[in-house]
Amino acid sequence: MGLELNIDNLVKRFGTRELFTIEKLRITEGESLHLKGENGAGKTTLMKIMAGLEKPCSGKVMVTPKQRRWWSNRIHPDVIYLHQTPYVFMSTVIDNVAYGLKLRGGSRQEVKTKVQQALVWARLGHLAEHPACSLSGGERQRLALARAWILAPRILLLDEPTANLDRHSVSTVAELVRQLLEQGTTVMVSSHQSNRVTELCTRHLLLESGALHESSSLESSSLESVLYEVDTKMEPQHYVQH
């Protein structure tokens, strides 16, 4: 049976401020979703609740079929959330990639083999022995993806994975996400604008004014990405001077 994530009457408030109410959302295995919304709309909060890292005020997130529990009742081992500024440990890239698998009790040989594969996959082989804290923003994103990839998540929640990346790094992240989708991973990407990563998504959700709306057509996002492309290809003299 394919993995499903269902949201039912989810409410999140901070103090007296209601951030959102989401009556229903069903995500099935292999889907690709773009979660859009302005700064502060609640994208990060929603993803953290989906990953079991934050509690809703009421309502439920159900991931079925139920699997072995990890260290918390709320955290499902198949759902992984990647923060927009990936946290790295004060150690080498190899140690950072190996961490989750070691925690899950992988054997020494399994960890070694999989870490090598993950480093090649994320194009980080040449940086394997480098201190992770010396990595650039784009390399950190790839490290975070390698750390997730090694755990073979079935649902991956990527929070603004392209924030502050240049076009080349965005393309590299997009290629890695494309491969994850090809492997059947369900991917949700939050981003307030369209880019090469969100272009891979076939479902588009907008978190706005405390509610989640789904757009069934790709029209608006395709148009936006065309405009984005045109915008970035413009010569400086095409910009209006203020």
Name the H helices within 51-166. Answer: 93-103, 108-121, 137-149
Q: Give me the amino acid identity at 213.
A: H
- Select from 41-49, 66-74, 92-100, 220-228 the region that touches ligand ATP (CB under 6 A): 41-49
| Interatomic CA distance for residues 81 and 49, integer angstroms | 10
Site string for ligand ATP, 151-190 (x = CB under 6 A): ----------------------------------------
Structure tokens given for 18: 């209601």
Q: Check binding of 86 to ligand ATP (CB under 6 A).
A: no
Q: Check binding of 141 to ligand ATP (CB under 6 A).
A: no
Site string for ligand ATP, 11-30 (x = CB under 6 A): ---x----x-----------
Q: Check binding of 42 to ligand ATP (CB under 6 A).
A: yes
Q: Check binding of 39 to ligand ATP (CB under 6 A).
A: yes
Determine the Cα angle at 147 with ends 103 and 171, to 5°.
Answer: 175
Cβ closest to ligand ATP, residue 17 vs residue 238: 17
With beta carbons less than 8 A apart as the criterion, state whether 155 and 80 touch. Answer: yes
Supply φ then ψ for residue 30, to 5 degrees: 90, 0
Q: What part of residues 185-224 is at the interface with ligand ATP (CB under 6 A)?
A: 192
- Distances in Å between the Cα of 202 and the Cα atoms of 62, 172, 188, 216 are 22, 20, 10, 9
- Select from 33-41, 103-111, 219-227, 229-237 the region that touches ligand ATP (CB under 6 A): 33-41
Judged by the rule CB under 6 A, the positions of this chain that interact with ligand ATP are 14, 19, 37, 39-45, 192
